[in-house]
Every structure is written in C-alpha cells, then in structure tokens.
Amino acid sequence: MAATAQAGEARPAFPPPDVTARPIDRAAWIAAFREVRDETERRAAPLSPEDQQIQSMPDASPTKWHRAHTTWFFEQFLLRPHVPGYRIFDERFFYLFNSYYVAAGPRAPRISRGLVTRPTCAEVQAYRAHVDRAVVALLEDAPEPALAEVIGTVEIGLHHEQQHQELLLTDILHAFAQNPLAPAYDPAWHFPAPAPAKGALALDGGIAEIGHAGAGFSFDNESPRHAVLLRPVAVDRALVTNGEWLDFMQDGGYARPELWLSDGFVAAQSEGWEAPGYWRRTEEGVWSSMTLAGLRTVDPALPVTHVSYYEADAFARWAGRDLPTEAEWEIAAQSGLDGAYGHLWQWTRSAYSAYPGYRPVAGALGEYNGKFMVSQFVLRGASVATPRGHSRATYRNFFYPHQRWQFTGLRLSQGRA
Amino acid sequence: MAATAQAGEARPAFPPPDVTARPIDRAAWIAAFREVRDETERRAAPLSPEDQQIQSMPDASPTKWHRAHTTWFFEQFLLRPHVPGYRIFDERFFYLFNSYYVAAGPRAPRISRGLVTRPTCAEVQAYRAHVDRAVVALLEDAPEPALAEVIGTVEIGLHHEQQHQELLLTDILHAFAQNPLAPAYDPAWHFPAPAPAKGALALDGGIAEIGHAGAGFSFDNESPRHAVLLRPVAVDRALVTNGEWLDFMQDGGYARPELWLSDGFVAAQSEGWEAPGYWRRTEEGVWSSMTLAGLRTVDPALPVTHVSYYEADAFARWAGRDLPTEAEWEIAAQSGLDGAYGHLWQWTRSAYSAYPGYRPVAGALGEYNGKFMVSQFVLRGASVATPRGHSRATYRNFFYPHQRWQFTGLRLSQGRA
Amino acid sequence: MAATAQAGEARPAFPPPDVTARPIDRAAWIAAFREVRDETERRAAPLSPEDQQIQSMPDASPTKWHRAHTTWFFEQFLLRPHVPGYRIFDERFFYLFNSYYVAAGPRAPRISRGLVTRPTCAEVQAYRAHVDRAVVALLEDAPEPALAEVIGTVEIGLHHEQQHQELLLTDILHAFAQNPLAPAYDPAWHFPAPAPAKGALALDGGIAEIGHAGAGFSFDNESPRHAVLLRPVAVDRALVTNGEWLDFMQDGGYARPELWLSDGFVAAQSEGWEAPGYWRRTEEGVWSSMTLAGLRTVDPALPVTHVSYYEADAFARWAGRDLPTEAEWEIAAQSGLDGAYGHLWQWTRSAYSAYPGYRPVAGALGEYNGKFMVSQFVLRGASVATPRGHSRATYRNFFYPHQRWQFTGLRLSQGRA
Amino acid sequence: MAATAQAGEARPAFPPPDVTARPIDRAAWIAAFREVRDETERRAAPLSPEDQQIQSMPDASPTKWHRAHTTWFFEQFLLRPHVPGYRIFDERFFYLFNSYYVAAGPRAPRISRGLVTRPTCAEVQAYRAHVDRAVVALLEDAPEPALAEVIGTVEIGLHHEQQHQELLLTDILHAFAQNPLAPAYDPAWHFPAPAPAKGALALDGGIAEIGHAGAGFSFDNESPRHAVLLRPVAVDRALVTNGEWLDFMQDGGYARPELWLSDGFVAAQSEGWEAPGYWRRTEEGVWSSMTLAGLRTVDPALPVTHVSYYEADAFARWAGRDLPTEAEWEIAAQSGLDGAYGHLWQWTRSAYSAYPGYRPVAGALGEYNGKFMVSQFVLRGASVATPRGHSRATYRNFFYPHQRWQFTGLRLSQGRA
C-alpha cells in the first residue's frame, strides 16, 4: 500500500530529534513536521470526497474530520498562543473540530461529525495548507526563548496526528465494510506476514521496572517509570493465527458460554458474533474478510485480527493459556519478542489504569489520556496501520473490551510454576 | 432559486401529453423526459459531493441516492422489460438503489443509504447519462404496439422522479440544519409570499364527489372517484402565518397539554419542541429559521411551515377552529382557494386510508401507495419545493403526525351550523 | 368463570336508570353503584397480592392499581366537590392513582405503577370501602338540587370502572402469559362459542345516521349523531375463526410482505409474530394459546382473538375482502348482526377520529376520549371480558394498530358493486 | 433494625466450624445452617407479599426471588446429587430460580424476575421449609464418606445465601425509593456511626502478600495468595463523610468535567446526578436521603454512601488524593484500619481481575466469580447490610463503576514520596 509505505525508503525525518537536544535543529523539526503532515495526506489521497465525508459508527470519524482536527490541534495549541497576529483560518472551526478537549471550549457532538458537509474536503485542504505555512514559519522564526515550548507542542501535535493516521485507516475500513460493494482502499494492500516464530520467551520472576523515563517522546500515561513484581512467565513468540482461530471456531468457541466472560458472551450473542470482525462466509462456506484491499480469502497462516478483548480472553481460556499482563509484555518486548510491532495491537489482560504516582499534565493537553482510565484494556505493540516512528515498548494503547474495528490481535502466555 | 424555477419561463415540456392521446407524440414525451431529468440535476447542482453523500436522519435520503434511485426506477421497470439486449450499467445497483419495492428484489437497508460512498457522484452521473440515452432511444424507436405500455411506465417514472425532487430539497435542508455553520443551498432563495387573502370560502353541505377520474395522470391512491357527504363548512382562504403562530407560542401553546393530542404532547416534550421546526431563538430573543437560503429572520407575514400534524392540530384547537377534511379541501380547491399550491402542503384532519373500492395496481408498482395507509395524515396542495406540473386538486400526500421536515403548513376551517 | 358471570342471573342492577329519569330513583342508583363496585372485587378475588402488584408491560396496569384508580375517580370527581367535610382517605393517593387527567393535577408516571407496593392490596380494599360508604351516603342524602349533577358523575364513574374491569382481565392475562408456569386465572373459564352463523348481512348504500342521541349513557366520542354516506356493502355474520386463521398461517400469511401494511410487516418481523398473541406451538407442532384458564389447545371453531389491526388488515387482504368501516358496522349491528357483543372487539378499518362537530366536555373529564384521536383504530362490539351493561351499537373502542393484548378479533365485509 | 441485628447477641452459630475440622461437628453445622436460613426470613419478615414481588430495576431482584433462589441452590447442588430418592419440590423451579449458572441448565431471563407472581410468597415459604428439612436430615444422616463433600457444598451455599441477604436489603431499598410514599423498611433502623478516627495508617513499601490461604472459608476469587509490590502509602483511618461530600458538591463537583473520568461525566450528565444516590433536596433546600428507615435528613457526620466508582474517583481527584488499591486496603485492614467492616463497602481503584494463577473451580459452581472479571471495580470491607460472619480482609466484592444502589462509600489514600 503506497499510503502506508510498506516499501523501504530513505532515512525518515520522523521521529524528530530529541526535544531536549541543544541547540534545537530547526530544519530537522521542519522536516519532521512536513513528513507527518504529508503522511496524513498520502493516506487520504485514495479517498473521494464522498468517502472522506462519512462516519460509519459513533466510534469512528470521517477522514475529512481527521484531517481537520489534527490541523485544529496546531492552530489551537500552537499558533494561537505563540504567533502574535496569527490570522485564524475560520473562527468557526474551533467549535467544529475540537474532539474532546473540554478545557478548549465547546465542541460539536461526536456523533454528528459525519453530518458536517461544509467545509468540504477542498476547504479542509486549504485549512491544512494555511496552518502548515504558519507552523513552518513559526519553526523558522520563533525567538530562541520560546522555541523550547514551541517544539514541545509541535512534538505532541505530531504524535497526536500519527494516532489519527492510524484511525483514518481503521475508520475507512469500517466504512467500506458497510458498503455492499466492498470497495478497496488500496487493491495492492496486503497484510505483512510476520517472520516465522516458535516457542516462548521465558521471563524470570522478580522486581522489574516498566514505563517511560529518559529521552525520547512518550505520552503522559507511560509515566512514571516504576517497579513491578513479575511472576515467572513464558510469553509466546508468535501471534495467534487465523488457522488457530478457525480451530477455536470449529470447536464451538463462539457458542460455549463457559469459555467467555459473562459480559463477553452477552456481547457475542447480541451482536451475532461467530467469527472475527469483517469475516463473512461465502455461500460455498469459505471464510473471507474485508480488508484494505477489499474482500480477501482468510489466510490461515496470518495473524488473526479484528478480535475484541472478549474474544481474545475466550480464546485464551479455550487454549488453557493466558493473555500476558502489560508489564509482562513490556519486559518481553525489551528482551526481544518477534513481531511485537508492525502487525497488530496485542490485547493484554491489564485493565487500563494510572501508573502509581501518575498525574495528568496541566491544561487542556492534560485531558489526553487520564480521563479514559476506566473500563478499557491495554494493548501493546503497534499495528500495520501505525505510522513509522510511533512505536515503542512503553506505549500504552487502550480500547473497550467489545471493540474490534482496530487492527487488534493477541499472543498468549503462561505462568511458569 | 434557479433550481426551483420561481421566475416565469417559456411553456414547459412537463406535464407531458395525455398518455391516452393518439397518435403518441414521441418528441413531446422525449422533451418531457428530458425536462424532468434535467430538473433533478439542476436541483443537485449547487451541492458538493460531500453534501450529496449524507443521510441526516432515517426519514431522509442522500441527494446522490435520490439521483440514483430515480434512475434505477427507469432501468428496473422500463429498460429491463422493454429493451432487448439492454446493457445493465452495474448489476449491483439493483440492490443498492431499490427503495422499498419488495417485489423488485432484496434491497439495501434504508438506514444505511448514507454509508454507500461508492459509487461516487460522478459515477451516478454516468449512470444517469447511460439510462437517459437508453430511455430516449427507446422512446424514439419502440415499436408502435409496445409504445403505449412504454409511455405508461415513463409517465409514472417521471412523476416518481418529481416526488424525489421535492424530497431532495427537504432532505438537504434537514442536512444543512444539522451543520453549525448553517450553509445556504441557494443564498438567493426566498419563500414565495402568497397573495393577500381574507375570509373563508363557504361550502354547502351535501353529496359531492372527490378523487380522480378521466384524463391526466394520477396516482392509484386518488381513485376511485366516489361520492362523499359534506357538511356545510367554511374554509379559510389564507394559510396560517408565522405571526399567528407566534401568538400561539406567546399564549403558552407548546406548554398547555389541554391543547394537544396525548401523543402529540409526549412528542413535543420529548423532542423539546417550543417552536416550528428549524426555528432558533437568537441570544437577543429574535426568532430565526433555517431555510434553503441559510438562517433567516422569521417573517410574521409569511405562512408558517415545518409544523407537524400534532402542532397543526393543537393550533387549531387553540384557535377554536378545525383543520379541514381532505374532502373539504378538495372541493374548496376546485371552488377556488387562494394559495392552494406552490407554498405549503396543508395538513388535513383526514387519516390516510383507502378510498372505497380502492385496489392497488398489480406488480411491484402496486407497492406504491397502498401499503402506507396507516397512522399517517393526508396533506393537500403542493409546496414551494414541488416541481411544476406535479400539483392537482386530487393529489394525496401523506406523512406521519410527528414529521416536520417537509414544507408543511395549515389552513383552518369551521363547520357552519 | 365465576368472576365474569357467564351463567344466567337475576335481573341486574346495571345499567342504572336513565340519568334523565325523574324523580331520581336513589335506591336504584345505589344498587347500580354496588353492583359495579362489587364486580370489580369479584374479578380481583382469584388474584393473590403478588398477582395484583405487577405491571407486565407499559400498556397494562396492576390489578391493585385498577382497584385504586377507579376509587380515586369517585373521590376526585364526586366526593371532593360534593361532600362538604369529606375526609380524604389518604392525600397522597391523588398523586398515586391519577391516570392521565392532566387537569386533575400531577400524577405518578404510568410506567411505574408496578413499583408502588404500598399501599398494599389490603389498604386498597380499605380505601374502596371508605369511598363506597361515602358515595352511598351521598346518594342517600344529597340534597335534591345537587342530585342531578351527582348522579351524572356517578354514572360516568361506573362506566369508567367497567372499562377498567375489562382491562383488569386483559392485563392479568398478559401478566400470567409472561410466567413460564402459565397460571390459570380461572381454570373453569372458557371462551363462549358464538351461535353458528353463515353468509353476510347486505346493506344498501345511501345516507344513514350513526352516533348516539337520545336517552341512555354514552361517552362523548359517540356524539354528535350525524349523517354518513354508506356504499352498498355486505357484512359477514360470523367472526373470523381460528381455523380460518390457521389457513392464513399455512399459506405463509405472516411471511408475505405483499399482504401487509408496511408498518405492519415491520412490526411482525421485529416482534417475531408468526401467530396470534399468546399462541405457542408445542414440540409436537400443536398450537395452544394462553387463556384465562391457562394454556389451552386452539379450537379451530372459535373466533380468533388477540390479533392486532395489522394482522386483521393482512388477513382481509389475503382473503380478498375488507374490514368494515365503523359506520358499516354500526348500521349492520342495528340491522341484526350475530355475535356482535360478548365475544370480541372487532377491528374496523376506520381510524379513530372526531365525529363532525365533536367537542370534548369541559373540565378534567373532557380529557376522556378526545385527546386519543390519532393513530388508533376503532373497534366495535364488546368482548367476553366486557361487563354486562357496557355494550351498545354506538360504542367506540380504540387501540393502536400494533396492540393485541385485548380480546380483539375481526369480521369481514365486501363492497357490493 | 431487628432484621440486621445491630444489637449485641449471644455467640452466633455462624460462621460454622472450619470445613476441614475433624471430626465433623454435625450439630454445629445444622445450627449454622438454621441461623443463616432464619436470617433470610428475618430480613423478609417486614415485607408484604406485594413488596416481595417486584424487581425495581434489572440489577435488582425481588425479595421472593432471593428467598427462592437461595433455596434452589441447596436443592440443585446439594440435595439432587446427595440424597437418593429426594422428592423435588417442584420441577419447574429449576428453570425459574436459577440465576446465571449456565451449566445448571436453562433459566428464566433476569429481567423477568418481577413478573413471576406464582409461586406466591406462601409457596416459596413452603419450598424453603421443604428444602430445610431435607438439608437438616442430610446433615444428620449423611454417611461419613460423603460428609466432607456435603458440608463443603453447605458452606458455599450459606455464604451464597448471605450474599443474597445483603442484596435483599439493598434491592428493597431501591424498590421503596421508587415509591412516592417513601415507605420505611424498618422505622427504627439507623446507620451505625463509626468510631471517631483521624489521620492515616502509614504502610511501608515493599513486597507483601495478599489473598486467602489456610483455614476458613473464602471464595475462589480470593486465591491464590500471592506476593504484591506495595509502594509506601498512607491510608485514611476514616471514611469520607456526608459533610465532606457536601463540600465537594458546593464546590461544583458534579459539574466540573476536569474532575471526572470521561465515562463518568457522561453517566453523571445522562442520569442527572447532582448528589449521591437516593438524595433529594427538599423545597427548603435541605438534603434528605432515602434509607431503610424511610426519608431521613442527611447527617454530615456519617459516612457518605450510595456513591458510584465514578463519583468516588471524582471526589478523590477533587481532594487531590487517591483511592487505595485493593492490596493497599488489605494490608492496611490487617494492620488495623478503623471502620473497615460494618459500615460501607469501600471502592478501591483496582479493576476486578484474576489473581495470578487463578483458576475457577470445576463445574457449575465455577461460574461463581471468574466470569465477571471485566469492567468492574473491587470494593473491600463490608457494609451495614452484610450479615455477621461474612466479612474478612481478603474478601473481594465487585460492582460496575456506575452502580450505586449498594451501600458503597470510600476512604482516601496518598502515596508517600
């Protein structure tokens, strides 16, 4: 897929230099900014204005909205405070394209994002260009004393935009899956096969440290780095595959309540789940799946994806195994886990909560992560849709246990007696 | 508004010649066909692909869908049966663009119309051109023996398309009303002021006839023409105005349950109605209303519109008056009622039901009207959005009593002792 | 069934003397009052406190509530205005047991009736006794000038209570039908077989009069008596039977959309209807039905009941026949229709609306009927659950087209060319 | 309140002897059985059959159902497997009174529990007596080899019944709170004031052990006992009071989104929360609360109760403090925490999940706890409604973060740098 850049390329501009590096390398930051902004446009390029307009479910957002909202972020948090005399592109966009930053003012209801046909895609493109010019000018011209704060905000804005780049793909996949014609986002797209992997990585028990510290970007929810007590555990090197999932299905996995969490079985029944998300059985009984390349036959050798936590948990119980905790995953990833990144977000059995001593950062950006710390589960790794430069061992992704429109899969683990 | 042709124009091609006229005037029918098809495109012209994509509520449909569905109608009911070797534009459209004709095969769920981003507007335009060429060729070349049946289907197809032309405007108005930016469909649009009218038209009681008979097109629900017993009644010459409605509001009209049908008051409370549809009160307390020209101050002299049956009924009770029955309306209209057409559909107090002896026509087209004869009320007249040639005294429009996104208003009546 | 008095009995005290008869016969009115009040208690007698407590759906009410609400009616509209120094039984009951009389003050939400466990059944019994004593005393002692108004209110109160007597039975049947044990209200109950009837009653077309006028009680919605125009029609003498309904079912009646109103088919599908209400198919494929005597095998010779308007309409279409209008029914009933009363309420195809010139009576009692004149259909006749003295040719019952927990059936008709 | 035994009493029979004590003391087990069974009846005694019938929300159950279901448990899991020739009281009860044990067969839907009026309370009483006799006989006569298994099941059955004793009170409180009359379960009931407590209990960091091991009963979710890593923390000795909560309210606590989890604020807004559950403001602006003694003025000195996790979390954030983890709570409780038991269940910030190495027990009883380990939070301690003998430091209660009909409160904690 051209848009997600699977092919090899020259050294990328992203991630940018460490934000604490001195002197600040303005040119490198400008390159990083351009790279990320361009990547968003590359991902949107195959999509018609009609495609970019719709919101196919409340959890998803229109492509056009992703493009505008990531732009709003720079205008709201960077240009308005830092550029005297900055000409606002359109005052009304502050209301339209705020997502959930309560402290940043009133905002349009999430559910109505698909109803806003104006501004059009072309106007959003002009909005992006306007803001891009202003940001680049700011990076070029900001007085030295302000520069550290400027690049701090640029950095978070770029990571924020990368998160939306991933959502842009998962959201359009969901939208296309609703269309009886099953359109392809990119007919040449394919799921990247992980390197063959067998066996498990054994971890000793004892006190270890997880979480982010030191140089490099991280979100607030990755801190503070802190000690955890690990039990001895073995974490599978391979992701669970479609083939293994078909075994689970054939063994009645979706119909046996004893394998499921109670809420999970209710969800499976009421939603009519009998296979992973986007799977459809043809009239001949063959399973195919909606992908970014359109409808494709399910390949048993590939990792299973679009499974919810409920399903991952039931599968693990069926297999007599566990999902790893997020601490186990993080330590294992740092010890060398195959296929940790670039294929799927991997469900852990850790509920998403604050690390000991966690405090959100002050101001509107403090709404970023902390307020979602309830009823969700942590996923680790990174997926095929995650942009380059956006993966690290301490990264904490999180979704509700019923959600499955992301590229979500699993690997298993087992306690060692 | 250019699209709805408020200005005077040369003699129109629609309505077409009487379908029973002989010899059949092929050229006139081709002109009629082109005029109606072009009018649809004229109405869609101010709308971007994004605008044409969305379905802002279950009762509404996307502009693009209206354009495609009306085309499907000709392909399904005209070209497939009558043109040997006709090349189907895209087989998949039979599923996508069927609306509710169960007998015509399976169809996409109504609620998902807004999710179908492909085909794009451009592809729908090509679909229209393809079908238009085939229909014109058929009208030119159809052998004489088949021609009567062909033009019968063309005629119903054109009237069907005109209905969707009206919906196209009311649906996009609803869509734009959801947008905080309140975009204008046509900044030059204005509501046509009816000629000044006072007093009432007195009708004698006794047996009269209503319903369609004789030449000219009508829908099946207008037949058979039959006798009704009228009571002596006076029907107001003028439509109820915004000014009168403001009096009702100031008198607590929306908050006094004794004025309302029980279901109506429940609807008003649960929907938070305190004014007609699309009205908003500015911070200064002035009422404005979302129109096809965007947000406009409410003009007390104009007829009130976007009121539901529930509201019309409550207003009539507040005024100590009645809504006319559909028979009273029809007889009055034929006796010369001001502003009967071209402003608003007018609620009657007649529940929508079959005329005595009514039988739906056979085949899929028989689903047209009969199966909706429950829980709706008849509206008479025609609105500012109704295309030219689509109005007549026997026309029966119908909506549910809570609906108010159409151009719906009312006139009052009173029994004469 | 003892409670519904199927067996012959001595001359009943109800209906009471004509309210306009002079001199007013106080003793007869007291007897009528006692008879009706006792009948309510007879109907409640087989029910435990637990049975009397529950509200099995929003449309139904608890037995205990029916007993209390009918009592509240006399306290609110009779004793409070007419008995100086009347000792209110419990002030709080005015809120608890008002049903929908907005003008009579605030009231507990309908949906919560089943949650009010206190007052208990025993306390409601005491409430009834308290009010009964006061009403009888008033009927004995009211000064002559006030007496006419007093008995006017007593009369409407008694008819009101009779309506609730019918609901008491239909509501408890619904409640028992939810219980997997299928309890019997009265094991000896059976549905009364109508006398055998064949053929149809032919009515000439022309102007006729319907509605109530003259002596005897009627509700406001039966007035004014007025002229209608009848077409020539034949009304079946017999009600549609279970056997005929089984033919409809075997012919795919519930699965053929072309037989149904659009809203009706949606209801049938979403509710999973494949037979009349309360029917269940045993494992052996035999149809049985929940009745007041518990689960009973369906008898093909008996009239079909617990069918909605949607089903009745579909059946008529399947049979190539019509449902009669309410005017046709009324004229036919006065010409001698078999089984008009005492078996089932019979759906007509008339939407429930105001007679020409109808005005609700003033005051809270004016809320009685008029405010329900939307989206419902008229049923005529009277059912096995209707108390004696509560039937007449002009009586207009009404329910929504999807409702089927009442004893509702149908007879067919046909226009005569 | 007599039913919950606030006063001092002679040495209770419950908890029973340790299930591993040998020889088995049959008489002591019979006494324990009788004590628990009698306590259920004592708690039901103030309630009328009407009170015992209703289910005031899906999360609650009728008193009658609690009485029957706890009896079903003994019949299903004890008498059927262990008593040859046991006469089933009523075969149909296996369906009616199963709660969620999928492996124990089909069961009536939870939502319909309030619709089952038969069996009546009196019949349920007979059911209880029948089963009690059989259980006592089994405890007297069971052959020695089977006895260990028998008392194992009796023990879990008694703890299960105690859980329902608590629910019986919280459920009837919810039911009475729906009644505009605000009935009292026990007019003499009062909330027990905790001993005055100030300051915090300081815990050192380091490895500690939590969970159950050794003698005495515990549920499966309390095992295995395992090591955890504690950070240094101070846990408040006192519960948060109504007075402190009023400060939170006055400081705009319910209206400030920055204090809340995102899901929590949505819940607070959509449910209209502006105070703890059951609080009502009188017209004079005084807060009162629905209690088991009816409506009572809120006492600022008492612990606040009927708060959800969402509210507890917001309060802690407002106070600049934390909720303790369940490990912190357990270690603190064992170090001597005031008011740990007998007042309120205390929210911890620990999501409810499996202890490392947890495996549910085999068979239907294995459904007991494990399948609820998602989206809920752990509460520790025990409440005023918890029966005597049912509290211990390792006990893990759990509810969803929005629920607040239990006696739920909180205490705060703080990390020590």
pLDDT tens digit string along D228-245?
999 999 999 999 999 999
Chain A nearest CA to D333, separation (Å): 20
End-to-end CA distance of chain C: 45
Distance CA B78, CA B152 (A): 10
CA–CA gap between residue A378 and residue A333 (Å, rounded): 15
Chain C residue nearest residue B208, CA to CA: C229
Chain B contact present for C231, CB below 8 A:
yes
Q: Which of D49, D114, D178 sits opposite C49 (nearest CB)?
A: D49
Write down the residue that tokens 């998962």 correspond to. Answer: A170
Query: Across chain D, what does the average pLDDT equal?
Result: 93
Q: Are C180 and C295 in contact (CB under 8 A)?
A: no
Portion of chain D with pLDDT greater than 90, in percent: 86
Report the first-to-last Cα separation within chain D, whole angstroms. Answer: 45
Q: Reply yes or no on whether the pLDDT at A204 is more than 90.
A: yes
Tell me the pLDDT tens digit for each residue of A100-126. 676 777 777 887 899 999 999 999 999
Q: How many CA atoms lie within 13 A of D406 on its CB side?
A: 29
Predicted confidence at residue D110, as pLDDT, reads 82
Burial class from Cβ neighbours inside 10 Å (0-12, 13-18, 19+) for residue A71 reads: buried
Enumerate the residues of chain C whose CB falls inside 8 A of the CB of residue B375.
Answer: 263, 375, 401
Tell me the C-alpha distance between A239 and B89, whole Å: 45
Chain A neighbors of D353, CB-CB under 8 A: 349, 351
Closest CA to C32 of C157, C192, C219, C181: C157
The tokens 């689903």 sit on which residue? B367
Residues of D in contact with C117 (CB under 8 A): 48, 50-51, 53-54, 175-176, 179, 183
User: Nearest Cα to D259, choosing from D249, D244, D270?
Assistant: D249
At C109 the pLDDT is 80
Rounded to 10°, the helix C144-178/C121-141 angle is 160
Residue A113's Cβ-count burial label (10 Å; 0-12, 13-18, 19+) is buried
Answer whether B110 touches A (CB < 8 Å): no
pLDDT at D8 over 50: no
Average pLDDT (D326-355) is 96
Put simply, the answer to whether D356 touches A231 (Cβ < 8 Å) is: yes
Question: What pLDDT score does C8 carry?
Answer: 44
Query: Checking phi first, is residue A206 left (phi over 0); if not, alpha (psi -120 to 50) or beta?
Result: left
- D363: distance to nearest CA of chain C, Å? 27
Please give the distance of CA C9 from its chain centroid, rounded to a whole number: 22
Percent of chain D exceeding pLDDT 70 equals 96
Average per-residue pLDDT for chain A: 93
The answer to whether D263 contacts chain A (CB < 8 Å) is yes
* Residue B381: both structure tokens together: 């007249």
pLDDT of C127 above 80: yes
> Please, is C282 exposed, middle or buried when counting C-beta atoms within 10 Å of its C-beta (0-12, 13-18, 19+)?
exposed
Which of B401, B181, B301 is CA-nearest to residue A92? B181
Q: Between A100, A353, A375, which is nearest D349 by CB?
A: A353
Is C115 within 8 Å of chain B by CB?
A: no
Q: What is the pLDDT of residue C318?
A: 97
Amino acid, res. A40: T
Strand partners, A381: A345
First CA to last CA across chain B, in angstroms? 45
Pairing type for strands A287-291 and B294-297 reads unpaired
Q: Confidence class of residue A11 from pLDDT cuts 50, 70 and 90?
A: low
In this prediction, residues A231-260 reach a mean pLDDT of 97
- B297 at the A interface (CB within 8 A)? no
Q: At what angle do helices A144-177 and A121-141 cross, to 10 degrees?
A: 160
Minimal-distance CA residue of chain A relative to B51: A117
**Residue B35 pLDDT more than 70?**
yes
Token output for A156? 């978070």
Give the Cα separation of B384 and B291 in Å (integer). 12
Q: Which residue has the tokens 């789940």?
A: A273
Provide, as residue numbers in chain D, all residues whose Cβ is less than 8 Å from the Cβ of A356: 231, 415
| Count of pairs with CB atoms under 8 A, one residue in A, one in B | 92
Summarize pLDDT for D258-267 with one digit per residue, the tens. Answer: 999 999 999 9
For residues D175 and B54, what is the distance between their CA atoms, to the nearest angstrom? 45
Distance from the Cα of D228 to chain A's closest Cα (Å) equals 6
Nearest CA in chain D to A208: D229
D187 reaches C (C-beta below 8 A): no
CB count within 10 Å of CB A8 equals 5
* pLDDT (0 to 100) of residue A8: 45
C7 at the B interface (CB within 8 A)?
A: no
- Judged against a pLDDT cut of 80, whether residue A296 lies above it is answered with yes
Residue among C349, C356, C371 minimizing CB distance to B262: C371
Q: Which chain B residue has its CA at the smallest distance from C228's CA? A: B229
Please enumerate in sequence order all residues whose Cβ is within 8 A of that of A59, keeping only pairs 6 or more positions apart, or say none: A403, A405
Query: How distant, in Å, are the alpha carbons of A339, C121, C263, D135 from that of D148?
Result: 51, 47, 62, 14
Q: Which residues of C touch B103 (CB under 8 A)?
A: 258
CA distance A115 to chain D (A): 22
Distance, in Å, from the CA atom of B298 to the CA atom of B306, rounded to the nearest integer, reads: 12
Averaged pLDDT, D344-363: 92
d(CA C294, CA C305): 15
Contact criterion met (CB < 8 Å) for B261 and C372:
yes
Minimum distance, in Å, between the CA of residue C228 and any CA atom of chain D: 47
Chain B: residue nearest C417 by CA? B357
Q: Do D180 and C51 touch (CB under 8 A)?
A: no
Contact across the interface for B229 and C227, Cβ inside 8 Å: yes
How close D294 comes to chain C (CA, Å)? 13
pLDDT, mean of residues B157-165:
97
Q: pTM (2 decimals)?
A: 0.95
Q: Are the C-beta atoms of residues C408 and C344 closer than 8 Å to each other?
A: yes
DSSP H or E stretch at residue D95 = helix D93-96
User: Which residues from C are below 8 Å from B399, CB to CB?
Assistant: none
Contact call for D50 and C115, based on CB within 8 A = no
Q: Any idea which of A155-159, A312-316, A365-369, B190-194 has the lowest mean pLDDT?
A: A365-369
Q: Is the ipTM of this complex over 0.90?
A: yes
Q: Which residues in A lie closer than 8 A to residue B119 (C-beta atoms)? A: 181
Distance CA B205, CA C228 (A): 12
pLDDT at C11: 62
Residues of chain A found within 8 Å of residue D413, distances taken between Cβ atoms: none
Whether D260 sits inside 8 A of A227 (CB atoms) is: no
d(CA D164, CA D66): 6
Query: What average pLDDT does this structure show over B372-377?
Result: 96
Q: Nearest by CB to B374, which of C103, C264, C354?
A: C264
Answer yes or no: are the C-beta atoms of D339 and D238 closer than 8 Å.
Answer: yes
Residue range C311-332: average pLDDT?
A: 98
Residues from chain B contacting residue A117 (CB–CB below 8 Å): 48, 50-51, 53-54, 175-176, 179, 183
The closest CB to that of C50, out of D92, D121, D178, belongs to D121
Longest dimension (CA), chain A: 68
From A400, A390, A372, select the one nearest A160 (Cα to Cα): A390
Q: Which residue, among C342, C318, C351, has the nearest Cα to C250 in the 3D structure?
A: C318
Please check the confidence at residue A358 and state whether its pLDDT lies above 50.
yes
A262 contacts D371? CB cut-off 8 A: yes
Region D284-306: mean pLDDT is: 97
What pLDDT score does A5 carry? Answer: 40
Closest CA to C228 of B365, D224, B356, B169: B356
- Contacts of A among chains (3+ CB pairs under 8 A): B, D
Rounded to an integer, the average pLDDT of D207-216 is 94
Q: Please check whether residue D415 is in contact with residue D231, taking contact to mean a CB–CB distance below 8 angstroms.
A: yes
pLDDT in tens, A382-392: 999 999 999 99
- Cβ neighbours of C181 in D, within 8 Å: 92, 96, 116, 118-119
Sign of the C-alpha dihedral computed for residues B63, B68, B71 and B76 taken in this order = negative
Provide the CA B191 distance to its chain's centre, in angstroms: 16
pLDDT above 70 as % of chain B: 96
Closest CB to D257: pick one of A102, A207, A401. A102
Q: Is the model more confident about C108 or about C149?
A: C149
Mean pLDDT, residues A356-367 taken together:
78
- Domain extents in chain D: 2-178, 200-415
Residue of A nearest to B174 (CA): A115
Decide which of 3.40.50.970, 3.40.1160.10, 3.20.20.10, 3.90.1580.10 is the CATH code for C200-415. 3.90.1580.10
pLDDT at C390: 95
- Over residues C162-183, the pLDDT tens digits come to 999 999 999 999 999 999 999 9
Q: How many CB pairs under 8 A join A and D?
A: 68
Would residue D369 be called left, alpha or beta, if left means φ above 0 and alpha means ψ between -120 and 50 degrees? alpha
In the prediction, which pLDDT does A367 show?
63
pLDDT for res B361: 77
Chain A residue with the nearest C-alpha to that of D265: A371
For residue D338, give the H/E element and its range: none
Half-sphere exposure of A324 (CA within 13 A, CB side): 32
Q: Do C263 and B374 touch (CB under 8 A)?
A: yes
Mean pLDDT across chain B, nearest whole number?
93
Q: Which H or E element spans position A220?
A: none
Nearest CA in chain C to B322: C357
| Closest chain A C-alpha to D361 CA, distance in angstroms | 12
